[in-house]
Amino acid sequence: MNAGELTVIEAGSTQVTDLGRRRGPRYGVPVNGALDQRSARTANILVGNPDAAPVLEITALDVEFVADVDILIAVAGADGHLTVDGVVRPSNQPVSVRSGEAIALRQIQGGLRAYLAVRGSFDVPRLLDSCAPDSVLGFGGRLVAGATIALRHSTAPIFNAHFAAELYDLDAPRPAAGFVVDVTDGPDIEDFAATADRLFAQPYLVTPKSNHIGLRMTGPLPERRTQGEVLSRGVPVGAVEVPPGDELLVLHRGRGVTAGYPVLAVVTPGSLDVLAQVRPGQHLRFRRLSAADAAARARAELVELEALRLRVRSVFDALDALSTLTTGRTHP
């Protein structure tokens, strides 16, 4: 039984998603899911949810929502002006919202996407164990004004009565400043001979044709020096391809599971999150990283998120203890 509903007042460009359809590729279905995985995980951790719980992915445009029950939310990712009933509230922290109060996120800047999580998350349809939209299969899609999303839980307000503010600053990680994209060497790097280093020579401009399937960009293009057709084969999320023409293509989470262009490099998992925040018309630079260094950075990011999870857990445990002491009931 659902606890209540979240109503969309102003939809902007928003969809319900999660960390993706990990079972999808074995069936020829793209993984999809939140383009900035780290920010989606952070938002969920801040409200005590599992990492893969559904969240709202908000892209660029202003949004507004109203819940008909008390909830606890957190917003992570690109910076924005977050208000609850007109009162400014912090991003990257848990924020209490009372029933009927308007949640608005406006003026997203410094990036392209923000993620809104609700404690207990949403009750939404799933396909292959994921609620991530898939435009090819016609599953999910953009929210519209007036739509409602079922809420699994309500959470009574958590406030510091003396300061009228949240009880905690949990030092949550934020998206990296600047657009530097780390890559490891791809399987076809030898095909480009000495021209492969052009990838690191100058910034690339992201074009308006970019989307969740892949980012297209212009700049100094490496040139394939070998002849012969590249057969279609499995390609990873993050493959840096050099198709015929005047653009570089970086495949993202909506990419098909096979492709037939030479793969010059592969973007690291952490830098896929960076790519999720680059707007068309902005520049980025590529930086070569060894496979060992890429693995070490991925482990360090997981350690950072786990440390945040432990801090959040300690806060909720303390709140439960306080609630039991003062009222005899645990906090919802």
Q: What is the pLDDT of residue 136?
A: 82
Cα angle 26, 32, 33 (rounded to 5 degrees) comes to 125
Distance CA 289, CA 16 (A): 33
Residue 163 pLDDT? 39
What is the chain's alpha carbon radius of gyration, rounded to the nearest angstrom? 21
User: In the chain, what percentage of residues exceed pLDDT 70?
Assistant: 92
**Mean pLDDT confidence for 235-242:** 93
Whether the per-residue pLDDT at 322 is higher than 90: the answer is no
Specify the amino acid at residue 185: D
> Could you read off the pLDDT of 91-144 as tens digits, one per residue?
999 999 999 999 999 999 989 999 999 999 999 999 999 999 998 888 999 999
Q: Per the structure block, which two tokens stand in for 168? A: 């905690």
pLDDT at 326: 55
Per-residue model confidence (pLDDT) at position 316: 84
Q: With b meaning 16 or more CB within 10 Å and e meaning fewer, what string describes 214-245?
A: bbbbebebbebeeeeeeeeeebebbbbbbeee
| pLDDT of the residue at 239 | 96
CB 36 within 8 A of CB 153: no
DSSP designation for 120: T
pLDDT at 112: 96
- The dihedral built from the CA positions of residue 19, 21, 23 and 25, taken in this order, carries a sign that is negative
Residue 195 per-residue DSSP state: G
What is the pLDDT at residue 71? 97
104 and 117 in contact (C-beta within 8 Å)? Answer: no
Give phi and psi for 26, each to the nearest 5.
-65, -20
Going by pLDDT thresholds of 50, 70 and 90, the confidence category of residue 170 is confident
Q: Specify the length of the chain in residues.
A: 332
Tell me 100's DSSP state.
T
Tokens of 279: 């707007």
Handedness of CA 267, 271, 276, 278 (dihedral sign): negative
User: Is the pLDDT confidence value at 17 over 80?
Assistant: yes
Q: How many CA atoms lie within 13 A of 135 on its CB side?
A: 9
Q: 93 and 46 in contact (C-beta within 8 Å)?
A: yes
The pLDDT assigned to 222 comes to: 94
Q: Residue 318 and residue 314: Cα distance in Å, rounded?
A: 6
- CB burial class (10 A; 0-12, 13-18, 19+) of residue 122? buried
Give the global pTM.
Answer: 0.92
> Partners of 148 in the beta sheet?
7
| Distance between CA atoms of residues 209 and 254, nearest Å | 14
pLDDT confidence band for 175 (50 / 70 / 90): confident
* Dihedral angle over CA of 299, 300, 301, 302, nearest 10: 50
pLDDT of residue 161: 47
Contacts of 126 (CB under 8 A, 6+ apart): none
- Return the higher-pLDDT residue of 270 and 260: 270
Q: What is the pLDDT of residue 162?
A: 40
Q: What percent of the chain has pLDDT over 90?
A: 75
Question: Which residue is it, tokens 């037939």?
Answer: 260
Q: What is the pLDDT of residues 25-82, one digit of tens each?
A: 888 889 999 999 999 999 999 999 999 999 999 999 999 999 999 999 999 999 999 9
pLDDT score, position 234: 85
What average pLDDT does the segment 221-242 reach? 87
List Cβ neighbours of 138 (8 Å cut-off, separation of 6 or more).
none
Q: What is the pLDDT of residue 331?
A: 54
How far is residue 210's CA from residue 246's CA, in Å, rounded to a whole number? 14
What pLDDT does residue 258 have?
81
